[in-house]
Amino acid sequence: MAEIETRLRELGLPLPAPIRLPPGVLIRFPWVNVRGDRAFVSGHVPLAADGSLAQPLGRVGQEVTPEEAYGAARSVGLAILASLRTELGDLDRVVAWLRVFGMVNTAPAFRAYPMVINGFTDLILDLYGPERGRHARSAVGMAGLPFDVAVEIEAEVLIRP
Amino acid sequence: MAEIETRLRELGLPLPAPIRLPPGVLIRFPWVNVRGDRAFVSGHVPLAADGSLAQPLGRVGQEVTPEEAYGAARSVGLAILASLRTELGDLDRVVAWLRVFGMVNTAPAFRAYPMVINGFTDLILDLYGPERGRHARSAVGMAGLPFDVAVEIEAEVLIRP
Amino acid sequence: MAEIETRLRELGLPLPAPIRLPPGVLIRFPWVNVRGDRAFVSGHVPLAADGSLAQPLGRVGQEVTPEEAYGAARSVGLAILASLRTELGDLDRVVAWLRVFGMVNTAPAFRAYPMVINGFTDLILDLYGPERGRHARSAVGMAGLPFDVAVEIEAEVLIRP
């Protein structure tokens, strides 16, 4: 019955195309690594609809506003859902969110990382509800992120094998 | 027989009250996410006895001395134990520590992160002993932490369900 | 019969001696924490053959070139394999790589963290192949790492108990 897909449609949230990395970037790891009932989600970045890196790039509190960063974290969430759908076939196979590690590309004086990563948490709770969507979380400031993205998130989820 | 509680009393270590975030900070994640026999511990910060943020705030090697940071890491440990007790009812249900990720709000030239996070590790080993308390660990320097706390730690533990 | 050891010999890759920390550094955590079929790998740093810290130290993009940092990530991989061999007796007991968290000591303008951590990923895939070696991964920029090493990596692997 594709519950999560239905919910995404109700909310008017299309998932982005698979990530298209900038030319010359070679990666040899999967976006989601499924092992038994555990799915390890690699660090994802904000994507535009076509799978290219979403704008704006840069440090939060400098080139990127806190509001844009909240949107970037939400965009990372949609990118992760797209990878999970590709890997699992069906987003309903995610039976529980476990751990979320939220990383913010930070300007020297910016500290409101929890507010930024709420963009991700709000999305997951809206889609999966408080029981399945519940996740432990850290939201912290990084000295830099790949491609100078504003937000990167990695996670672990429990799946129906 | 509440072994860990007894040990806490012997050591004269009261646990802090539940965390009281600064006004206006909204979080929608649990401090501990229990799923089966796994408990995922969200990033915790140093707390005063009443659950407010412990002083001093700032970067280690700048506003915060290494010795104060060691104490902050110990304080994070007590905050995590308080959250585990709230969630599990009994700290003896933690049967094994698995992984600890220790994050230090670092001044540009400070590098002694392992010495800082020893404040946490020493506490856990004193309470749980070398077998149950044993944990894999990283201790690294962050560009920033929420509320400008000196230390933040996330962890995973194995529990008796 | 010692498949991974054989492969290491074929590739001419000796593992370093156990880590020798600089004088005065006290650590009370294991390099690998085995619990059932899970092995949690503490944050490892690049090692020379005798187990001392490998040169060069410093920030990638400043004192350390990206090419040296790729080599440092590979060196971290060998250090992790040495710790796993010490703990498990046999590297063939690692049946699946799960999650890898790659941390780069970054100069302010450097961003090519994925290229750096590829030094680790390439090694693991060469040794364990695409199925067993497959791992979820993040590669991010830190404000500082212990001893000012260029790269630190923590991981989780599934083992034959």
Cβ atoms of A137 and B29 within 8 Å: the answer is yes
Distance from CA of C140 to the nearest CA of A (A): 5
- Closest-CA distance, B28 to chain A, in angstroms, reads 7
C38 pLDDT band, cuts 50/70/90, is very high
pLDDT in the model for residue B64: 98
Q: Average the pLDDT over C96-105 and give the result.
A: 98
The confidence score (pLDDT) of residue B24 equals 87
Average pLDDT of chain B, as a whole number? 97
B142/C142 CB distance under 8 A: yes
Higher confidence at residue A24 or residue A10? A10
Q: Domain A3-12+32-159: give its CATH superfamily.
A: RutC-like (3.30.1330.40)
Task: Nearest chain B residue to A134 by CA: give it.
Answer: B29
The answer to which of A84-93, B21-30, B53-62, C112-121 has the lowest mean pLDDT is B21-30
Q: Quickly state the pLDDT bin for C75 (edges 50, 70, 90).
A: very high
Q: How confident is the model at residue B39 (pLDDT cuts 50, 70, 90)?
A: very high
Chain C residues in contact with B159 (beta carbon < 8 A): none
Q: How many CB atoms lie within 10 A of CB C89?
A: 9
Closest CA of chain A from C128, distance in Å? 13
| Domains of chain A, residue spans | 3-12+32-159
Write the DSSP string, C20-82. -PPTT----S-SEEEETTEEEEEEE--B-TTSSBPSPPS-BTTTB-HHHHHHHHHHHHHHHHH
Note the Cα B72 to chain centre separation in Å.
9
Q: What is B3-16+32-159's CATH superfamily?
A: RutC-like (3.30.1330.40)
Amino acid in the structure at residue A86: T
* Residue in chain C nearest A151 by alpha carbon: C140
CB contact under 8 A, C33 and B142: no
Mutation choice for B interface testing from A99, A123, A154 by most B CBs within 10 A: A99
**Chain B residues inside the 8 Å CB shell of A137:** 29, 42-43
* Facing B113 at nearest CB: one of C28, C29, C146: C146
pLDDT at A1: 65
Neighbours of A30 (CB within 10 A): 18
Residue C158 has a pLDDT of 98
Q: Which amino acid is at C135?
A: H
Residues, chain B, total?
161
Tell whether the model's pLDDT for residue B1 goes beyond 90: no
Q: How many CA atoms lie within 13 A of B152 on its CB side?
A: 28
Residue type, C139: A
Provide mean pLDDT across the span A100-121. 98
The answer to whether residue A74 scores a pLDDT higher than 80 is yes
Reduced to 3 states (helix: H, G, I; strand: E, B; else coil), residue B15 is coil
Closest CA to B44 of B81, B13, B14: B81
How far C10 CA lies from chain B's nearest CA (Å)? 31
pLDDT of residue B126: 97
Please report residues of A whose CB lies closer than 8 A to that of B154. 99, 101, 136, 138
Alpha-carbon distance A93 to A39, whole Å? 11
**Contact yes or no for C40 and B135 at CB 8 A:** yes
Chains that touch B (3 or more CB pairs under 8 A): A, C
Collect all residues of chain C within an 8 Å Cβ-Cβ radius of residue A152.
138, 140
- Looking at residue C19, its pLDDT comes to 94
The confidence score (pLDDT) of residue B73 equals 98
**Which residues in C lie closer than 8 A to residue A154 (C-beta atoms)?**
99, 101, 136, 138
Among A41, A62, A123, A137, the strongest candidate for a mutation testing the B interface, having the largest count of B CBs within 10 A, is A137
Bridge partners (DSSP) listed for residue B60: B64, B106
The answer to whether B152 and B45 have CB atoms below 8 angstroms apart is yes
Gyration radius from chain C CA atoms: 15
Q: What number is the average pLDDT over the span B16-39?
A: 94
Read off the pLDDT band of A24 (50, 70, 90): confident
C137 closest CA partner among C123, C150, C111, C156: C156
Q: Is the confidence at residue A108, as pLDDT, over 70?
A: yes
How far is the C-alpha of B25 from the C-alpha of B151, rounded, in Å? 19
With a pLDDT cut of 70, the percent of chain A lying above it is 99
A interface test, pick of B25, B27, B28 with most A CB neighbours within 10 Å = B28
Q: Given CA atoms C95, C19, B116, A112 in this order, what sign does their dihedral have?
A: negative
Neighbours of chain A (3+ CB pairs under 8 A): B, C
How far is it, in rounded angstroms, from Cα B154 to Cα B73? Answer: 11
Chain A's closest residue to C95, CA to CA, is A35
Segment (H or E) for B114: helix B113-132
pLDDT > 90? residue B138: yes
3-state secondary structure of B92: helix
> Mean pLDDT, to the nearest integer, of C115-141?
98
Interchain CB distance below 8 Å, C143 and B142: yes
Maximum alpha-carbon separation in chain A = 47
> What's the pLDDT band for C24 if we cut at 50, 70, 90?
confident
Interface probe, candidates C110, C137, C152, chain A, greatest A C-beta count within 10 A: C137
Are the beta carbons of C106 and C63 closer than 8 angstroms? Answer: no
Q: Nearest-CA residue of chain A relative to C132?
A: A35
What token pair was written down for B9? Answer: 């009393």
Residue type, A122: D
Q: Find the residue in A nearest to C125 (Cα).
A: A28
Q: Please give, rounded to a whole number of angstroms, the shortest distance from the CA of C52 to a CA of chain A.
A: 27
3-state secondary structure of C83: helix
Confidence of residue C160 (pLDDT cuts 50, 70, 90): very high
> Topology of C3-16+30-159 in CATH?
60s Ribosomal Protein L30; Chain: A; (3.30.1330)
Residue C117 pLDDT > 80: yes
**How far does the CA of residue A51 sit from the closest CA of chain B (Å)?**
28
